[in-house]
Amino acid sequence: MPYIELPDWARSAKNRKIQLYQSAREVKQPILLIGGVHGDEPEGVWLAEFALEWLKRNTATVPWIVIPCMNPDGFINHTRVNGNGIDLNRNYPSKDWSPEFAKPRYNPGPHAGSEPEIRAVTQLIRTVNPRLIIHCHSWHPCIVCTGEPGLTAARALAESSGYELKPDIGYPTPGSLSQYGWHDHKIPVICIEEVEGCARENIWEHFASGISKIFTGV
């Protein structure tokens, strides 16, 4: 189906291109799907790429935006953090952002929203006001839904994958997308945790039915 490709939508800390795809030239209240937040979780990039391929071939009934790899510096270097050594899921300018961190891999940055990847995504969120944000990671498999309006979509993903649906990840995540999206802006946020180390060829079968349900409203 028709879509718009922005191959140089934004740049990373080390000036690498961040690609963005969207269902039309102008989109309002889309579902925003993000992969590659953490560069050492390639499963999230692969899942976003598979979802994008599905969206290119099928007719979605909702506007959509896909950022397959938000952290190209980390993806190339196989690091969680971006090119400045910052954990992008702790750098959102949420009300609870905190400069404190226990391990370097959770470095939240010198100040909230200090990283170019986060500035680009938060500006996008303010502009298009997504109805739902889904970001794709890998860890112990689960679906984390923050915000009751996201529950139908989260249940579809949990059913599709067989992974547990959780109301939170189980530990505090100040400066995360779920804090910024739901707690500050009332945009529901779903975090998909694919099995860490899952083979690329096995990922799509876990989420094909859930993704198609979410983007066709069926």
Residues forming contacts to Zn ion in the complex (CB under 5 A) are 38, 41, 137
CB closer to Zn ion out of 125 and 142: 142
**At closest approach, how far in Å is the CB of 15 from Zn ion?**
23
DSSP characters over 76-127: HHT-SS-TTS--GGG-S--TT--S--SSGGG---SSTT-SHHHHHHHHHHHH
Burial 171-196 (b: 16+ CB within 10 A, else e): eebbbbbbbbbbbebebbbbbbbbbe
CB closer to Zn ion out of 16 and 137: 137
**At closest approach, how far in Å is the CB of 37 from Zn ion?**
6
**At closest approach, how far in Å is the CB of 132 from Zn ion?**
19
Angle at 62 between CA 72 and CA 17, to 5 degrees: 15
Token output for 187: 């945009």
DSSP characters over 137-179: EEES-EEEEESGGGHHHHHHHHHHH-PPEESS-SS--TT-HHI
Question: Of all residues in this chain, which one has the CB nearest to Zn ion in the complex?
Answer: 137
CB closer to Zn ion out of 90 and 137: 137
CB closer to Zn ion out of 42 and 116: 42
CB closer to Zn ion out of 148 and 164: 164
CB closer to Zn ion out of 79 and 152: 79
**At closest approach, how far in Å is the CB of 4 from Zn ion?**
27
The CA distance from 153 to 211, in Å, is 9
- Which among 69, 68, 61, 67 has a CA at the least distance from the CA of 1? 61
**At closest approach, how far in Å is the CB of 159 from Zn ion?**
22
**At closest approach, how far in Å is the CB of 110 from Zn ion?**
21
